[in-house]
Structure 1
Amino acid sequence: MSRYISISIVFGLLLITSCKEKKTEPMPEQSKEATTDQPPKKELSPHTSAMATIGNAHIHIDYSSPGVRDRMIFGGLLAYDQVWQAGAHMATWIETDTDIEIDGKELKAGKYGFFTIPTKEEWTIILNSNWNQHGKDEYDEKDDVIRFKITPIIADSLKEHLEYNIKKISDTEGEITLAWEKVKVVIPFKVK
């Protein structure tokens, strides 16, 4: 009988030792999407761009497009008489591979930060040499390359998301438009 007890003890110890050495793999976590029936969250200010070729000039505008989302934008979320990066997150930038003329001023081929100062009656449009900055954190007026005023157009319908367009008028002329909420700004330019 003691022999059976000894064998049982040895067998039990072997079983315990083998259980301790056995490594268990963690259970894979299920994704949150798999456990809920909700669709993925929509980005509030999606990154986008507008591009066009007019004559021999390729023009590209890169921006993040915030939504109105039942807010008062101009004179509310964006205070009048304050510099705005003309988009969300990083500063909006414009690039041209050919010299163009805006408001009678030459804009050399290159990449520029696009800023505005909105008011009820007129907007100041700014092209700034510092194109790579978060919002307007590093904006400095001394880096402005072109600055001019333009009258905004007030629309009857609401534009939910900020949108830029580049429209070809002819082989040497075009328009850049910025539209958001009920405001539209049209900036004519010429290809040099």
Structure 2
Amino acid sequence: MKSPLLTLALVAGFAVTSFAQIDLPAASPAATVSQQVGLGTVTIEYARPSLKGRTMFGDRVPYGKVWRTGANKITNLVLSEAMLVDGKKVPAGRYGLYALPTAADFTFILNKDANNWGAYTYKEANDLMRITVKPEKATTLTEALTFEFTDFTPTSASLTMRWESLRVKLPITNDPDEKIMAQIAEQTAKADAKPGVFSAAANYYYDTNRDMKQALVWANKVVESEKMYWTYYLRAKIAAKTGDCKLAKSDALQSLELAKKAGDDAYVLNNQKLLAECK
């Protein structure tokens, strides 16, 4: 007969074995991709299934049926602040990103429930918006589901999904112009405003083709405080845009000499180009 102690040890050993786990690589590993857009950040969190020789769209991912846009937990789209998604305003927050593929088009679904496991408990009533886009035929096969950001500008990007031979894009915009203009008005009005404030304001006016006379006023303040090759170049490019090539050439020559001494090739080229344009 087995002793009670031996029996207890065998039972305990069986229990430990039954509940033991083996760590293995995930079949659909988790991934996170972030991109600054304007003054905010767009983040996509998803799991990456692979083809493994299978046909996905129209087979494993049926046409006309809501899909989790990945594997495991519903893919999440996170906006750090309000942005335009396909031209429609979406508040800051975390959203479930579902999809509805068909043979002809592809619909992204932004859903208020970002915590579902898959699309099993998807509720259309929680949809914030649907965006239907025309899918593109990719020239190469993408094995693992991939999200990436493409088509960059300072205020926009496309959230691009690639899988199998399919590629679809979701345009996202965050234009901070109103916020920036408010900051410029507030900061430049301060009695103790630093040269960096006036420099940033002048550059923004220059880049967005606003009041060049006002930009030149700020550039003058910068040069008065800091006579450096980058400050001379700032005023030179603004002066050139106003048509004052006399001031532009004078400042560009000053900037060019200082930039050469500093070994800053980028500013050397910038000044040479400006001088050529002002001939």
Fold similarity call, TM over 0.5:
yes
Partner-residue secondary structure (3-state), 1:142: helix
Structure 1: 5+ residue stretches without partners: 1-25, 34-39
Partner-residue secondary structure (3-state), 2:125: helix
Contact 1:52 1:167 in 2 (8 A): no
Partner-residue secondary structure (3-state), 1:135: coil
AA paired with 2:98?
F
Query: Is 1:89–2:36 an aligned residue pair?
Result: no
TM superposition shift of 1:154: 1.1
Query: Is 1:143–2:126 an aligned residue pair?
Result: yes
Which whole-Å CA distance do the structure 2 matches of 1:123 and 1:88 have between them? Answer: 18
Which whole-Å CA distance do the structure 2 matches of 1:148 and 1:96 have between them? Answer: 17
1:84-128 deviations in Å (ceiling 9; x for gaps):
010100000010111111122111100000011001210111100
AA paired with 1:101?
L
TM superposition shift of 1:138: 1.9
- TM-score, length basis structure 1: 0.77
Identity of aligned residues (%): 29
AA paired with 1:90?
K
Contact 2:148 2:161 in 1 (8 A): yes
Which residue in 2 is equivalent to 1:111? Answer: 94
- TM-score, length basis structure 2: 0.54
Partner-residue secondary structure (3-state), 1:169: strand
TM superposition shift of 1:187: 1.1
Which whole-Å CA distance do the structure 1 matches of 2:167 and 2:147 have between them? Answer: 10
Greater RCO between the two (CA within 8 Å, min separation 6)?
Answer: 1
Which residue in 2 is equivalent to 1:65? Answer: 48
TM superposition shift of 1:43: 2.5
Which whole-Å CA distance do the structure 1 matches of 2:50 and 2:65 have between them? Answer: 19
1:139-177 deviations in Å (ceiling 9; x for gaps):
111111111210111112110000101236212111100
Contact 1:163 1:178 in 2 (8 A): yes
Query: Is 1:152–2:135 an aligned residue pair?
Result: yes
Partner-residue secondary structure (3-state), 2:153: coil
Which residue in 2 is equivalent to 1:173? Answer: 156
Paired residues in the alignment total 159
AA paired with 1:106?
K
Which whole-Å CA distance do the structure 1 matches of 2:85 and 2:33 have between them? Answer: 18
**Larger Cα Rg: Structure 1 or Structure 2?**
1
Contact 2:29 2:47 in 1 (8 A): yes
Partner-residue secondary structure (3-state), 1:145: strand
Which whole-Å CA distance do the structure 1 matches of 2:78 and 2:150 have between them? Answer: 15
Partner-residue secondary structure (3-state), 1:164: strand
Instruction: Say what the alpha-carbon RMSD is for the aligned residues.
Output: 2.2
**1:1-192 equivalences in 2 (<5 Å):** 42-167=25-150, 169-192=152-175
AA paired with 1:109?
A
More helix by share: 2
Contact 1:54 1:168 in 2 (8 A): no
Most deviating of 122-131 and 168-177: 168-177
More strand by share: 1
